[in-house]
Amino acid sequence: MRIPRVLTTALLALGLAFTVPAPASAAGENSGKTAGENYVALGDSYSSGTGAGDYSDVLCTRSRNAYPALWARSGAPASFTFAACGGATIPDVLNNQVQHLRADTTLVSISIGGNDSGFASIMLSCVLSTQTACERRLDEAAEYVRTELPGELDALYATIRARAPRAEVVVVGYPHLYKEGGFCLGMGAGKRTAVNDGADLLNEVIADRAAAAGFAFADARPAFAGHEICTSDPWISGSNIHPTAEGHEKGYLPAFEAAAS
């Protein structure tokens, strides 16, 4: 998820990805499951690493600090395809990303659903407008999440399974963005609670449909607890509302590893 920028249209149209085979020496030094993995990372900016810096692909904001790249670098899988792209929606994954899945793909990660539910406009409303406007926009998103998102996720997950029939699939959720209670510059307590409640609903639906598809769910909320925006040690940037490099390393990566084990 991310607030749109001038490059959004271009990056969605390009849907770029890169494939990195594990170096022979590195693969030889690693034994067990990861060395034999053919890993494909799908999804939106919470998987591509928007906000984490050190980008290998600026258009899709694919960061070398994002949890898929960190996992691939430490685990040295047989192959790694980084297809996640900032700003991606479910149709973007279907049109531009799932083609990287193959019969020999063994591991897939994906975070998706935030942009489909209107993350960018929600954050604009909640940061710039009143409590009432913020809650109204969240209510609109909640209606979509309850009524339309489940079917869209079911169709996407079915496509992933059809294209990668042997793969372990880990669906990665979204963290709470804000500390609740106390003072937070630019965002009142009521708004922060409402935004986090919206994240809870989104995660609930995503986890439910992942379970129905037989996929694992990596819940990011416990991993990021105590490190939200306006805490003393935030792993989410208050300027772009995305996990930092530290958030990917200490939050997302352990959550993903636990779900994939």
pLDDT digits (tens, 9 = 90+) for 54-77: 999 999 999 999 999 999 999 899
Among 100, 176, 242, 248, the one annotated catalytic: 242
Residues of the chain where predicted confidence (pLDDT) is lower than 70:
1-33, 35
Threshold 0.75, pTM exceeds: yes
**Per-residue pLDDT at 4:** 38
**Per-residue pLDDT at 186:** 83
DSSP one-letter code for 89? -
**Per-residue pLDDT at 261:** 80
> What does each C-alpha distance from 231 to 116, 199, 220, 226 come to in angstroms?
28, 18, 17, 7
**Per-residue pLDDT at 185:** 87
Domain layout of the chain by residue ranges: 8-260
Q: CA-to-CA distance for 231 and 73, rounded, in angstroms?
A: 30
- Give the closest residue to 88 by CA, choosing from 123, 126, 48: 48
Annotated catalytic, 242? yes
Q: CA-to-CA distance for 187 and 101, rounded, in angstroms?
A: 41
CB environment 173-184: b (16+ within 10 A), e (fewer): bbbbbbbeeeeb
Among 31, 45, 48, 232, the one annotated catalytic: 45
**Per-residue pLDDT at 33:** 60
CATH code, residues 8-260: 3.40.50.1110
CB environment 187-196: b (16+ within 10 A), e (fewer): beeebbebbb
Annotated catalytic, 227? no
> Which residues, at least 6 apart from 87, have a Cβ–Cβ distance to it below 8 Å?
2, 4, 8, 11, 12, 44, 45, 115
**Per-residue pLDDT at 116:** 97
